[in-house]
């Protein structure tokens, strides 16, 4: 089984498990063994799935401003967790391909494997929710028709993105692409880098 076939399966397991309760406060119950790639993929998609629904909630025009601020803070924290986990998945790939020697003319991809996997995880959520809209009985026929067309486009994108990821991993393994990872170095959550945060600390 290709890597992306495994990833797609794990992502959809995570999405299905979340929607049993369909509650952003549901605790993850990761079924995969520690240190396995599948466990990392499941955890990654769970973060994405919870954040997807947090983003829905915060767009409620009638939401209490104090509650919205709490949600914004939670979304910021989720984004940091997402970034940390993507970088951890890239570390997993670096370890896997540590014995692969890049050729002299090896290329560098603009995106690491894990950040491409991040897009695949989000795509799984788009497919899930667009499929719901394409079959929602309370929606108009026109709405379902439009969503069905969008769903077909998303499924085509899944096919293309999966092929690109599998090809990238093949090229890294065979030395055609040099895997090079840069940390995201996000600044907004860091008290030493965000001016608003470090001024608040200084004035406390």
Q: What is the DSSP letter of 59?
A: T
| 97-147 pLDDT tens trace | 999 999 999 999 999 999 999 999 999 999 999 999 999 999 999 999 999
Q: 108: part of which helix (H) or strand (E)?
A: strand 107-108
3-state secondary structure of 63: coil
| 21-45 pLDDT tens trace | 999 999 999 999 999 999 999 999 9
Q: What predicted TM-score, i.e. pTM, was given to this entire model?
A: 0.90
Rounded to 5 degrees, φ, ψ at 180 are -130, 130
Q: Can you tell me the distance from the alpha carbon of 53 to that of 78, in angstroms, rounded to the nearest whole number? A: 12
Rounded to 5 degrees, φ, ψ at 178 are -90, 125
Structure tokens at 142: 């026109």
């Amino acid at each position: 089984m290709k890597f992306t076939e495994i990833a797609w399966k794990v992502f959809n397991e995570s999405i299905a498990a979340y929607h049993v309760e369909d509650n952003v406060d549901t605790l993850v119950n990761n079924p995969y063994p520690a240190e396995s790639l599948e466990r990392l993929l499941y955890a990654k998609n769970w973060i994405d799935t919870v954040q997807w629904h947090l983003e829905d909630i915060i767009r409620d025009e009638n939401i209490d401003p104090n509650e919205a601020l709490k949600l914004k803070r939670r979304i910021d924290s989720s984004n940091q967790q997402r970034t940390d986990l993507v970088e951890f998945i890239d570390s997993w790939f670096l370890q896997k391909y540590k014995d692969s020697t890049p050729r002299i003319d090896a290329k560098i991809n603009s995106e690491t494997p894990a950040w491409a996997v991040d897009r695949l995880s989000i795509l799984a959520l788009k497919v899930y929710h667009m499929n719901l809209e394409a079959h929602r009985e309370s929606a108009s026929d026109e709405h379902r028709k439009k969503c069905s067309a969008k769903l077909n486009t998303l499924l085509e994108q899944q096919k293309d993105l999966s092929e690109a990821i599998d090809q990238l991993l093949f090229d890294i393994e065979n030395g055609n692409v040099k895997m090079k990872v840069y940390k995201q170095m996000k600044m907004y959550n860091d008290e030493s880098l965000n001016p608003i945060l470090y001024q608040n600390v200084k004035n406390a």
